[in-house]
Amino acid sequence: MKKIFLTIFITFSTMFSFVQISNAQKVGELKFYDVKEMIKDGKAVMIGQGEHHDSTYFYRIPFRLKGVVRKEVWELGCDGAGIAIRFATDAKCIGAKWTLTYNFGMAHMAYTGIKGMDMYVLDREGVGANKKNRTNWFYAGTAFPNGKNSQSVFVRKMEGGKKEYMIYLPLYDGIEELSIGIDSTGSFFAPSGALIPEYKMNTNSKNDLPIVFYGTSVTQGGCASRPGMAYPSIIERKTGIETINLGFSGNGRMDSNMADYIATIPARAYVIDCLANCTYETTRDSSSYFISTIALAHPDVPVYMVNNYYYAQQFMLPENNSDMVKENALWRDIYRKLSKEGTTVNGKPTGPLKNLRFIDVSKDGIVQNEDTVDGTHLTDLGFTHLAEAILKQLKIK
């Protein structure tokens, strides 16, 4: 009797699911609009780029750096990590079509994070999950990749009504072409100027500037399940401040030409989180030029130096533990020396770099025992914990 009931239940459930899917809005029924044209028409805004250039439309670094930076940095700079498209619509169904640059995969990271996209909706009235926070970005849906030329629906069967949305581009792949699709009842509208309008206290131009993050695969977003869960993007939504993600997987090594580029980006803060990609020797030899170049270019803007977090397996890997402890100690010594004495760049003394700040994430319990995929790269939970720890020490005016 139980087997018969189970069979009937499974059959009914399958039929119900089929009816639900067949009645749902399909991606092929949507009308698609090219994002580049939407931006030109004022119906969309792209955030997360330090410098925009038409020949590298959805890339993180401009074309002028090709051949200047190392090949690995350039290729990773073609990934979409941290770039987001903002728009408003009253549509009931939203989807996307996108052409990937590489269309590759990794064994330890979900495809939705590598080459998919996710979308957030701005809740102004506190009708979402957290009614105490009257303005926040809430998860709205994920577009699943299905080939080099992908197409997918983020969300369907919404009630309609004009709302603001934000789509994060893939973390570990680039996008060559992107279109957003909506149902026939919907229209696009220009988004508001600020990520969180109510938090924009005045029109001082400094308040419009982003936070620039430079670092490693963890900064880039490895191994988040979807793009919006990289920790710079979590901080972006929590603060309402645009962030620029210059994390380069395995290649955040404080290259001098990257310091020169970052120094050209106007920002309200710079966060240097690259120790995991640097040897003790690299940290010793490259820090002075890298940090001082950025700090001297923006003497009134804080430059934060972030140390290594405590890895889950560290207690049983004595050599790794010793290396991390030594590098963290060196990093703090460099911070103290640059802050109090400065350094010499191109034969000229800099004087004390008073705008340096230090963020300590090395304490046990910040990145917790179950927060990683492989002992190093973070899950969504790990990124949430790291973002919270950095936010506590990030003093943004």
What's the pLDDT at 3?
A: 41
372 and 321, same domain (yes or no): yes
Asked if residue 278 and residue 144 are part of one domain, the reply reads no
Q: How many domains does the chain divide into? A: 2
Residues 332 and 289 reside in one and the same domain: yes
Q: Could you tell me if 303 and 356 are in contact, meaning their C-beta atoms sit under 8 angstroms apart? A: yes
Q: What is the mean pLDDT of residues 381-390?
A: 97
Show which of 133, 164, 189 is a domain's final residue. 189
| CATH code, 89 | 2.60.120.260
Domain check: are 106 and 224 in the same one? no
Domain ends where: 133, 163, 189?
189
Among 93-107, 201-215, 256-270, name the one with the lowest average pLDDT: 201-215
pLDDT in tens, 129-174: 555 555 589 999 999 999 999 999 999 999 989 999 999 999 999 9
Q: How high is the pLDDT of residue 39?
A: 94
Does 293 lie in the same domain as 183?
A: no
Shared domain check, 105 and 218: no
pLDDT score, position 310: 82
Between 375 and 305, the higher pLDDT residue: 305
Whether 261 is covered by a domain: the verdict is: yes
Q: How confident is the model at residue 347 (pLDDT cuts 50, 70, 90)?
A: confident
| CA atoms within 13 A of residue 15's CA, in its CB half-sphere | 6
In a domain, 68, yes or no: no
**251 within domain boundaries:** yes
Least confident of 134-138, 160-164, 277-281, 366-370: 134-138
Q: What is the pLDDT of residue 55?
A: 73
Least confident of 41-45, 66-70, 127-131, 132-136: 127-131
Question: Would you state the pLDDT for residue 199?
Answer: 45
Whole-number pLDDT of residue 130: 53
Mean pLDDT of 86-115: 97
pTM: 0.90
Q: What's the mean per-residue pLDDT of the chain?
A: 88
Domain identity same for 161 and 263: no
Per-residue pLDDT at 128: 53
pLDDT for 107 equals 95
370 shares its domain with 283: yes
Asked if 234 and 311 sit in the same domain, the reply is: yes
**Between 234 and 125, whose confidence is greater?**
234
Residues 150, 229 share a domain: no
Q: Would the pLDDT of 303 be above 80?
A: yes
Please identify, among 126, 157, 189, the residue that sits at the C-terminal boundary of a domain. Answer: 189
Same domain, 280 and 159: no
Domain match, 166 and 220 both:
no
Check whether 326 has a pLDDT greater than 60: yes
Q: The domain containing residue 315 runs over which residues?
A: 201-393
In a domain, 253, yes or no: yes
Q: Is residue 213 part of a domain?
A: yes
Residue 74 lies in a domain: no
List all residues 6 or more positions away from 395 whose beta carbon is below 8 Å from its beta carbon. Answer: 302, 357
User: What does the pLDDT read at residue 203?
Assistant: 37
For 332, how many CA atoms within 13 A lie in the half-sphere containing its CB?
Answer: 11
First to last CA, the chain: 67
Residue 281 has pLDDT above 60, yes or no: yes
Banded pLDDT at 4 (limits 50, 70, 90) = very low
65 belongs to a structural domain = no
